[in-house]
Homo-oligomer: A and B are copies of this chain.
Amino acid sequence: MKDPAAAPRIHDVAKLAGVSVATVSRVLSNPSIVSERTRQAVEKAVEETGYTVNLMARNLRQQQVGAVLALVPNLANPFFSEILAGISGTLRAEGLSLLVLDTRQTDPGSPSRGLRAYLNRSRADGVIVLDGSLDPALFDHAACPPVVQACEWIDGLVGPRVLADNTSGARMAVEHLLGLGHRRILHLTGPSANTLSQSRAAGVAAALAAAGLPPAPRIEGAFTLKSGHAASAALLAQAELPSAVFCDNDEMAIGLMAGLRAAGLRIPEDISIVGFDNIEMSAYASVPLTTVRQKRAQLGRRAAETLLAQRSAPAPTELILPVELVVRDSTAPARDHLRVAARDRSA
């Protein structure tokens, strides 16, 4: 006597429909090659039994997993969750599942050991890496599925990348400040080892160099609200206050603004602030934040599409998505600039 609760198998459907298992399989995966009559009989039997294919069996047979793995540095960070949403949407349209792994949540002793077990063709059909701090050697073995780097990237890891135009974004931000007359611009950066920070620093340097100005002084943060807040203390301790700060992301900018305002500074009257990312919160910050918009959901979609494209035509493409400046209330003309302008007028 069989377990009545056992899931129906393809064999049960075949018997009920009076056909072979092969025919049932065909109806399910390629209905057009089977006659109308038998197709209907099979569909009826499927309906009656409540049969659904066993994906573990199908996957083994077809040598594919039906899932893509996303590697994120911090799952709790809203910045990444929007990218994930974009990835997820594209994958679902293809019938693929999204596996998510927090790269920081691995065992602290050997951060890469736990990860490596997941980088295997039998666990995922592809990998989207959103963490630029990983060791490229992690991906350097035959069992590793195709990899696409998105948002951040890993030096030494060849393969397709989908990135925002970080350098242009930072350049636009600084040029905006320069245009407002700011000359004493400070750069609140992410961790110096981070590839994002580096490319944004390049944009800052380019804008200043083009204006014939020396490199901007820096304070190093960690992309967090807290580190932005901490930077306010460091900034206020400086001999000469900058007239504007470009921050490598919005969270640090918001943390910084909170600290500066608590110290009695007015934004933008006393100091202008620019962020990067345009997170939703930025429009509702204590002072609506001028920032660089980065379309995160789109970036996720593109990354997923790029990965899917690798299946048919592997190529180490590099996709750079445009960004744009969003001017809100946290930036205003430099005071010196106003003074100069007034003198010019009265002269």
Contact = CB atoms under 8 A, between A and B. Distances in A.
Contacts of A75: 81-82, 84-85, 88
B229 A284 contact: yes
Contacts of A102: 85, 88-89
Interface string A260-291: 00000000000000000000110111100000
A56 B50 contact: no
A50 B143 contact: yes
Interface string A89-110: 1001000011111100110000
A342 interface: no
B100 A7 contact: no
Identical chains in the assembly: 2
A99 B101 contact: no
Contacts of A54: 60, 122
Nearest to A121: B7
A283 B225 CA distance: 9
Contacts of A89: 102, 105
16 contacts: A7-B142, A52-B122, A52-B143, A54-B122, A55-B122, A56-B122, A75-B88, A78-B81, A85-B102, A88-B101, A92-B101, A92-B105, A97-B118, A98-B99, A254-B284, A281-B281
Interface of A: 5, 7, 50, 52-57, 59-60, 63, 65, 67, 74-78, 80-82, 84-85, 88-89, 92, 97-102, 105-106, 114, 117-118, 120-123, 141-143, 225, 229, 254-255, 258, 280-281, 283-286, 297
